[in-house]
């Protein structure tokens, strides 16, 4: 099974069995599912974004309000990276399982739209998305497409075509509340699922990190696939500390083809 050792192969087989038996499985994904697509995560030592920048300096709501040029200067290369990224085998495998009816929803902390690019339909973006922006003056929401190229190429700050106010990407910054609809939907999915698969998340960022506990408290099975340990590893039915881009396609193969 893709050159995995015996222990990992058995864990993959068991994970596939749990998903096949579930009636309402959901997946929670974090930055680690997109690093194989070339998008840096935040906390990996030496490569994560916070290895080079102080989050409260560059990615907080107060920085955006008082120093938007600093925020956008930090955001420019990340946006460029996201726009050029393509779904990796993990995204594609999740979409295949969703399309086959085994996965009911994907809760993601990511803002990169890669689940949707892969073909997933029921995606709850708890930290927002760069696909749209909102005016800080008149609050009108608009697609980001028109503003991205000038921002990336020349650092031109995006402004509202209606009132001239500064536009903010619809992503959640430090000091900002979660998008209410997405968060409420994600909580409902966690509370009603009978299985949650956590993929590529360190489970360090609240309140999303608490969703697997909500699922566990209601009797759901828990599968965790991540390169590094998480606080809930001891509670997981299956724990695989490997590359999600290798493991999830293997689980999907087990689910879809036996």
Rounded Cα–Cα distance for residues 198 and 156 (Å):
38
Cα 186 → chain centroid: 12
From 73, 41, 34, select the one nearest 205 (Cα to Cα).
41
Strands, DSSP E only, in the chain?
25-29, 103-108, 123-125, 128-135, 141-143, 167-171, 195-199, 221-225, 238-240
Annotated active-site residue in 67, 91, 115, 127: 127
DSSP 8-state code for residue 60:
B
Rounded Cα–Cα distance for residues 171 and 71 (Å):
12
**110, 35 Cβ separation under 8 angstroms:** no
First to last CA, the chain: 12
Question: How many other C-beta atoms are found inside a 10 Å radius of the C-beta of residue 38?
Answer: 12
Instruction: Tell me, yes or no, if 127 is annotated catalytic.
Output: yes
Q: Sheet holding 238-240: strands in order across?
A: 123-125, 103-108, 25-29, 195-199, 221-225, 238-240
**77, 233 Cβ separation under 8 angstroms:** no
Rounded Cα–Cα distance for residues 110 and 124 (Å):
10
DSSP letters, 147-179, are HHHHHHHH-PPPB-TTT-PBEEEEEPPBT-PPP
Give me the active site residues, please.
Answer: 127
């Amino acid at each position: 099974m893709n050159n995995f050792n015996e222990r990992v192969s058995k864990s993959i087989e068991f994970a596939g069995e749990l998903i096949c038996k579930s009636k309402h499985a959901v997946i929670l994904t974090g930055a680690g599912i997109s690093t194989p697509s070339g998008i840096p995560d935040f906390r990996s030592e030496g490569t994560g974004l916070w290895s080079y920048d102080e989050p409260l300096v560059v990615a907080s709501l107060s920085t955006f309000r008082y120093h938007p040029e600093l925020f956008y200067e930090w955001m420019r290369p990340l946006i460029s990276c996201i726009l050029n990224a393509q779904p990796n085998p993990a995204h594609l495998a999740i979409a295949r399982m969703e399309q086959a009816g085994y996965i009911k929803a994907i809760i993601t902390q990511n803002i990169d739209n890669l689940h949707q690019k892969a073909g997933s339909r029921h995606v709850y973006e708890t930290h927002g998305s760069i696909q749209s922006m909102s005016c800080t003056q008149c609050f009108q929401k608009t697609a980001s497409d028109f503003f991205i190229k000038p921002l990336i190429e020349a650092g031109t700050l995006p402004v509202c075509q209606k009132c001239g106010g500064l536009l903010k990407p619809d992503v959640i910054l430090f000091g900002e509340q979660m998008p209410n609809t997405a968060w409420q939907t994600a909580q409902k999915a966690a509370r009603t699922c009978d299985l949650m698969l956590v993929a590529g998340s360190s489970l360090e960022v609240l309140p999303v990190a608490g969703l697997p506990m909500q699922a566990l408290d209601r009797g759901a099975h828990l599968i965790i696939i991540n390169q590094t340990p998480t606080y809930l590893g001891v509670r997981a039915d299956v724990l695989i500390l490997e590359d999600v881009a290798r493991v999830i396609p293997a689980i999907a193969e087990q689910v879809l083809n036996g």
